[in-house]
Amino acid sequence: MARIEIATLAGGCFWCLEAVYQEMRGVESVVSGYMGGQVDNPDYRAVCTGATGHAEVVQIRFNVISYRDLLEVFFVIHDPTTLNRQGNDMGTQYRSAIYFHSPEQEATAREVIKEVAHAFDHPIVTEITPAQTFWTAEDYHQNYFRNNPHEGYCMFVVSPKVDKFRKKFAGLRK
């Protein structure tokens, strides 16, 4: 049996990342939450103010696939060139960040950024930071797209990212 690893990524709203990674082969689980701030046990309302310093993240438990595969998908499904913003979602909680759990993950993240940088018109601003305490988001944020596929945000923001993943990474789908 393959060893389970953990990846923690921030790429705007956690609902978007969660929905995509839940469809990826080798992903055991995806949990939405918060990381990178200075307040213990933050809640969504506090994180949305920007005052806690946390980013919306997903914590991914995976095996079989590589960390590199996760990052290659990450750089396709969000815009890593916009500082503290994804589409209409603005604030530090929507920053692009990779929270690494090992020196190998840090090295891979830096390599992947160098490899994909040419595909963007602007510099990549994704933070690469050691993982900190992961705080699980409230229950209603978990499986949000699966539970609310016809909600407006899901239809107009999340669904196009899921469709993009399905088309570009068909070989990595469950």
Segment 49-66, tens digit of pLDDT: 999 999 999 999 999 899
* Residues noted as catalytic: 13
Phi, psi of 97 (to 5 degrees): -150, 145
The CATH number linked to 144 is 3.30.1060.10
Q: What is the pTM of this model?
A: 0.96
Q: Tell me the per-residue pLDDT of 132-144, one tens digit each, with 9 for 90 and over.
A: 999 999 999 999 9
Residue of 161, 152, 141, 170 whose CA lies nearest to 16: 161
Q: pLDDT confidence of 68, banded at 50, 70, 90?
A: very high
Number of compact structural domains in the chain: 1
Residue ranges making up the domain that contains 156: 5-172
- State the DSSP string of 97-153: EEEESSHHHHHHHHHHHHHHGGGSSS----EEEE----EEPPGGGTTHHHH-TTSHH
Residue of 63, 68, 78, 108 whose CA lies nearest to 13: 78
Decide: helix, strand or coil at residue 30.
Answer: strand
Please report the sign of the dihedral spanned by the C-alpha atoms of residue 4, residue 21, residue 64, residue 96. negative
